[in-house]
Chain A
Amino acid sequence: MASANRSLNRYFDINGWFFVAPAALLIGVFMVYPILYSLWMSFQTGKGMMTQFGGLANIRRLFDDPMFMLALYNTMIFFIVQVPVMLTLALFLASLLDNPNLKFRGLIRTAIFLPCVSSLVGYAVLFKSMFVQDGLINSTLLALHITSQPIPWMTDPFWARVLIIIAITWRWTGYNMIFFLAALQNIDKSIYEASRIDGVPSWGRFFYLTVPMLKPVILFTTVTSTIGTLQLFDEVRNIMTSDAGSAAGPSNSALTLSVYIYNLTFKFVPSFGYAATVSYVIVLAVALLAVIQFYALREKD
């Protein structure tokens, strides 16, 4: 009885509430309220301020909106191609750089990590100037005779997507590598020693020891990268769109869901309700993919 009272007291302790109140209030006003309000908004239709309750009209609109389908398709392409490429690269780099016999280890680690310190807009603008028709990349490729024609990075739908994937891989590989490196430090060296004595080759140690032991970190980086890629905005906005035109890349080939939301809100006739609906598509997609990833990488006991 006494213990039950004590635990109840914890809930009614005015001082405790006083301490959490400022944070709770701020979270309530700036996070919970906007989330709930955007849910309410996603049921509104109409232009700008002229809105009315539209029920499921916005959800129906999603299904016959070719631009939304294109944005979803592009986002999924970026996600399916970029996330595995980046994480594999990060994992390999991490295990290479974990080798204590490697010279200039710290320097190389820093060099690979450094891109993710750069500002998203800053590096996107830089990439844009490097990859234009007669920019640094094309003139280098031509001078080295790797290609005979300049690559249409920004004027061909295929290459535009390749460029975005190159850009985000450059930006985020180092970031994910750091997680893998940190996790590698926690693996007991004696396990490797034992396997070496048993005659397991290095590729075997990588696939049968390193990868399984890094599973929780792989899960974590997969989920965060998925979220990041589904929200892809800055790179596309800065590399592929101009203020003059409203297409995101040639044939809208780099239009992502986030850029589409931006267009619906700021470029097109403001359709706040529909934009909110599209943003909930991202929420659902992230939730769904996270569940799948948790399931795929679950601990099998």
Chain B
Amino acid sequence: MNTTFKTSLAALVFSTSSVLAMAAAQAKEITVWCWDPNFNVAIMKEAGAIYSKTHPDIKINVVDFAKADVEAKLQTTLASGVTTSLPDIVLIEDYGAQKYIQSFPGAFASMNDVVDYSKFAPYKVKLATVDGKTYSMPFDSGVTGLYYRKDYLEQAGYKPEDMQNLTWDKYIEIGKKVSEKTGKKMMGLDPNDAGLIRIMMQSAGGWYFNDKGELNITGNEALKAALKTEGKLIASGITKPASGWSNWVSTFTSGDVATVITGVWITGTIKATKDQENKWGVAPIPKLDVKGATDASNLGGSSWYVLASSPEKKEAIDFLNSVYGKDVDFYQKILVNQGAVGSLMEARKGAAYETADKFFGGEKIWQKFADWLSKVPSVNYGVFTNEVDSAVAAQLPALGKGGDVDAALKAIEAQAKSSMQ
């Protein structure tokens, strides 16, 4: 045992010194953590290639691992206080932004001196701002849309015009007709996931928290309407229950459902099913029946953060700013290749946003998403979104069985209060 221990110790010393030697030789390397090889990893590599052309001394090293692992590793490393194993740039989903910024003050670098935030979609900037300082480079948006199967709806007697300006009641009515005529369900729905609730709530300008970040549940008209609507959806029998992400995705890739309501980042997945070409259309999401309701919302989306402890902090910020903050052509490229709708507003004037998409029967879908993006109501995602989300998801099965909405709101508030400590 002793010999093996010595050997491994020696190996460790040697490997560490060789790593150090390599780092010294290559001067500047910016390490980035992100999670989707077909999406943000590919995009970051593209951005790195663009930046390296003008800055040959800087190498962008993109490390790809699962999202849950990125979050777990970031959280434990920040908590341990050892900064050496942290990357220079990390991707964080927008719902978690405030949690990280507020739980680990000083861990992330604010970029207000360099980045002109007025050029980005306002809701993306606000979600990473604390005390007037913004800590993110806004990246992809989760602007939502209603993707629908034109063939199924036609069989049920609906044209694309009928899918515009929907209310949720009208949507359910269409769904019933679709099930009757085609035997298909209207949408796949995971009852453990409060995603649809978040979409509906934000579309009416509401969130679990008010502008000051205080819990806003029992008096929250948008949330109440969202819960009521989701209850109606489940009870009406037009949803196909799904469990987990991949099962939910298979509800529409297999052609079992007629519509998908989610963030724009799903476009790539929908287009990957080649035999469904020309069968899909895109419309705004249905409106809630409350004051201030719109047909634009957001689900997910993420932004880049620079670690304050990074020795290459300055270079990392300059890299993000010169590509993500200015390069309109870059945004055209990632839109075409990865289907990423960025949040830099001037990017939507580029050529790619004007192109008609063959898969969607020649519709200019990107222009539509860009228009909806500018309409997404700005809300405060707060620090405790995951906690409240868990409380909300716990109430969903009961609501589907006709449970009382006010009782559910009370239960959510009680549970959320106790976890917000």
**A residues engaging B (CB < 8 A)?**
22, 45, 47-50, 61, 64-67, 128, 132-133, 152-157, 240-252, 263, 265-272, 274
Minimum CB–CB distance from B398 to chain A (whole Å) comes to 7
- Which residues of chain B are within 8 angstroms of A252 by Cβ–Cβ distance? 390, 393-394
In contact, B190 and A244 (Cβ under 8 angstroms): yes
A156 CA to B2 CA, complexed, in Å: 54
Given A47-B102, A49-B81, check contact A245 B193 (CB 8 Å).
Answer: yes
Cβ-defined contact, A128 with B394, below 8 A:
no
Q: Which of B209-245 contact A (CB under 8 A)?
A: 240-245
Set of chain B residues within 8 Å of A50, measured between Cβ atoms = 103, 105
Whether B103 pairs with A240 at a CB distance below 8 angstroms is no
For B418, give its contact among A45, A48, A66 (CB under 8 Å): A66
CB distance from A216 to the nearest CB of B (A): 33
Given A22-B2, A133-B242, A157-B397, decide whether A247 and B390 contact each other with a Cβ distance below 8 A.
yes
A154 to B103, CA, bound (A): 34
Interface: B78 (CB within 8 A): yes
B393 with A246: CB separation less than 8 A? yes
Contact A66 B415 (CB under 8 A): yes
Q: Which residues of B contact A251 (CB under 8 A)?
A: 393-398
CB-CB under 8 A from A240, the residues of chain B are: 192
In the complex, A153→B397 CA distance in Å? Answer: 13
Contacts of B244 in A (CB 8 A): 128, 132, 154, 242
Number of A-B residue pairs, CB cutoff 8 Å, is 139
- In the complex, chain B residues 239-276 whose Cβ is within 8 Å of any chain A Cβ: 240-245, 247-248
A22, A47, A67, A242: the one contacting B193 at CB < 8 Å is A242
Q: Is the CB of B242 within 8 A of A243?
A: no
Write out the residue numbers on chain A whose beta carbons fall within 8 Å of the beta carbon of B387: 268-269
Q: Do residues B415 and A267 form an inter-chain contact, with CB atoms below 8 A?
A: no
Q: Which of A132, A133, A155 is the one whose CB lies under 8 Å from B397?
A: A155
A248 to B415, CA, bound (A): 15
Instruction: Using CB atoms, name the residue of chain B closest to A262.
Output: B72
B407, CB-defined interface residue at 8 Å: no
9 A–B contact pairs at CB < 8 A? A49-B105, A61-B418, A245-B192, A246-B390, A251-B397, A252-B394, A266-B71, A269-B387, A271-B421
Contact A245 B79 (CB under 8 A): no
Contact of A269 among B105, B384, B394 (CB under 8 A): B384
Inter-chain pairs besides A47-B383, A67-B415, A153-B243, 20 sampled, C-beta below 8 Å: A22-B5, A47-B102, A49-B81, A49-B105, A65-B419, A66-B414, A133-B240, A156-B397, A242-B193, A242-B244, A243-B68, A245-B193, A245-B195, A245-B389, A245-B393, A247-B390, A250-B192, A263-B390, A266-B71, A267-B71
Shortest beta-carbon distance from A159 to chain B in Å:
11
- Indicate whether B24 reaches chain A with its CB closer than 8 angstroms: no
Shortest CB–CB separation between residue A252 and chain B, in angstroms? Answer: 5
Complex interface: chain B residues within 8 A of A274 (CB): 421
Given the complex, which residues of A lie within 8 Å of B68, measured CB to CB? 243, 266
Chain B's closest residue to A157 (CB) is B397
Alpha-carbon separation in the docked complex, A287 to B67 (Å): 36
* Contact across chains for A242 and B190 when beta carbons are under 8 A apart: yes
In-complex Cβ contact of A267 among B105, B243, B386 (8 A):
B386
B241's partner among A48, A128, A155 (CB-CB below 8 A) is A155
B306 at the interface (CB under 8 A from A): no
Taking CB atoms, residues of chain B closer than 8 Å to A250 are 191-192, 396-397
B384-409 interface bits toward A, Cβ cutoff 8 Å, 1 = contact, 0 = none: 10110111011111100000000000
Number of interface residues of B (CB under 8 A): 50
Partner of A45, one of B102, B395, B421: B421
- Please, which residues of chain B bring their CB within 8 A of the CB of A247? 192-194, 389-390, 393-394
Least distance between B303 CB and chain A CB atoms (Å): 18
Complex interface: chain A residues within 8 A of B16 (CB): none
C-alpha gap A123/B103 in the complex (Å): 36
Tell me whether B21 is interfacial, beta carbon within 8 Å. no
Residue of A nearest to B98 (CB): A269
Contact between chains at B103 and A242 (CB < 8 Å): no
Q: Is A268 a contact of B75 with CB atoms below 8 Å?
A: no
Q: Judging by beta carbons under 8 Å apart, are B390 and A67 in contact?
A: yes
Per the bound structure, the CA–CA distance linking A51 and B321 in Å amounts to 34
Chain B residues near A246 (CB-CB < 8 A): 386, 389-390, 393
Least CB distance from A177 to B in Å reads: 31
Q: Is B1 an interface residue (CB 8 A)?
A: yes
Q: Tell yes or no: B65 within 8 A of A by CB.
A: no
Across chains A and B, which 6 residue pairs bring their CB atoms closest together, nearest first? A48-B103, A245-B193, A247-B393, A154-B243, A242-B244, A246-B390
Report Cα–Cα, A79/B21, bound state, in Å: 54
> B192 to A269, Cβ gap below 8 A?
no
Contacts of B421 in A (CB 8 A): 45, 61, 271, 274
Asked if B104 CB lies within 8 Å of chain A CBs, one says yes
Q: Are B67 and A243 in contact (CB under 8 A)?
A: yes
**How far is it, in angstroms, between the C-alpha of A66 and the C-alpha of B414 when the chains are bound?**
8
Cβ–Cβ < 8 Å partners of B248 in chain A: 244
Contact A272/B393 with A133-B242, A133-B243 known, Cβ cut-off 8 Å: no
Let me know if B326 is at the binding interface, CB within 8 A.
no
- The answer for the CA separation of A251 and B393 in the assembled complex, in Å, is 6
Is the C-beta of B99 less than 8 angstroms from some C-beta in chain A?
yes
Q: Smallest CB-CB separation from A247: which chain B residue?
A: B393
B386 touches A268 (CB 8 A): yes
CA–CA, A22 and B8, complex, Å = 14
Asked whether, in the complex, the Cβ of B393 is within 8 Å of the Cβ of A266, the reply is no
Minimum CB–CB distance from B315 to chain A (whole Å) comes to 26
Smallest beta-carbon distance A261→chain B, Å: 13
In the bound assembly, the distance between CA atoms of A250 and B76 in angstroms comes to 28
> Is the beta-carbon distance between B241 and A152 smaller than 8 angstroms?
yes
